[in-house]
Amino acid sequence: MGGIGAVAAAGLLGPGTASAHAESCPDVSVVFARGTAEPAGLGRVGQAFVDDLRGQLGGRSVGVAAVNYPASYDFLQSAPAGADDASAQIQATAARCPDTRIVVGGYSQGAAVVDLITGDPAATFGFGRPMPADVADHVAAVAVLGNPAGRIGRTLTTSSPLYGAKTIDLCNGADPVCSNGDDRPAHSAYVQSGLVSQAADFVAGRVASHAPAGTLVNASGTVG
């Protein structure tokens, strides 16, 4: 909503409504997609990522939302369903809370969900469901772990024009889900390997340097 529309809406809704709305928006909002067959919610890797990230964001308020999807072995049905839910949640947050820094994350099949909404559609097996380009301005960082697209060399850091520079895409050694290796236990060891913490470190840095989409930048290049 433009500045004039926002002022008009605030006047119609009454004093205090606009400020209450702003207070309901967290500084940071994390949307995370769990891995295949993990229980509904963030999953083990997602929860560890959120816990680590909270510890690095100091006094910033953090909202957390799990992608609501089957995470089943019917990958071609499950992952696109997750992409649709993740996209809807992210776009709703961007519209409702334009100053909130959004973090998008996923593990294993959840990483593929993130690929579908942030990657180049031509590089995601024809199932690309990219979000509108202006949503990228609201996303401070993307973190994916055990990304299946890595098996064909399609990491988000190299294949996503809008999100690549703000993405960390990690594969644990010879994890066969994201590489041509055969170390199956590696796929379950992202927390123990320290890669979850590495992802949280990266995201925290991006959040600290990200100017919200509604922030004005003056002619000198500094935030105004």
Whether 16 is covered by a domain: the verdict is: no
Whether 123 is covered by a domain: the verdict is: yes
Whether 147 is covered by a domain: the verdict is: yes
Q: What is the predicted pLDDT for the residue at 211?
A: 75
Quick check: 69 and 85 in contact, CB under 8 A? yes
Q: What is the predicted pLDDT for the residue at 12?
A: 35
**What is the C-alpha to C-alpha distance for residues 89 and 64, in angstroms, rounded to an integer?**
11
Whether 54 is covered by a domain: the verdict is: yes
Name the active-site residue from 108, 159, 160, 179.
108
For the chain, residues with pLDDT lower than 50 are 1-21, 216-224
Q: What is the predicted pLDDT for the residue at 14?
A: 38
Count: domains in the chain: 1
Whether 3 is covered by a domain: the verdict is: no
Name the active-site residue from 138, 175, 179, 210.
175
Q: What is the predicted pLDDT for the residue at 188?
A: 97
Whether 10 is covered by a domain: the verdict is: no
| CATH at 198 | 3.40.50.1820
Q: What is the predicted pLDDT for the residue at 192?
A: 97
> At CA 149, angle to CA 184 and CA 166, rounded to 5?
115
Domain span holding position 144: 26-209
**What is the C-alpha to C-alpha distance for residues 80 and 116, in angstroms, rounded to an integer?**
7
187 is catalytic: yes
Whether 173 is covered by a domain: the verdict is: yes
Name the active-site residue from 29, 179, 187, 210.
187
Taking only the tens place, the pLDDT of each residue in 95-153 is 999 999 999 999 999 999 999 999 866 655 556 678 999 999 999 999 999 999 988 88
Whether 141 is covered by a domain: the verdict is: yes
Q: What is the predicted pLDDT for the residue at 11?
A: 34
Q: What is the predicted pLDDT for the residue at 73?
A: 96
Q: What is the predicted pLDDT for the residue at 26?
A: 97
138 is catalytic: no
108 is catalytic: yes
The model's pTM = 0.84
Q: What is the predicted pLDDT for the residue at 121?
A: 61
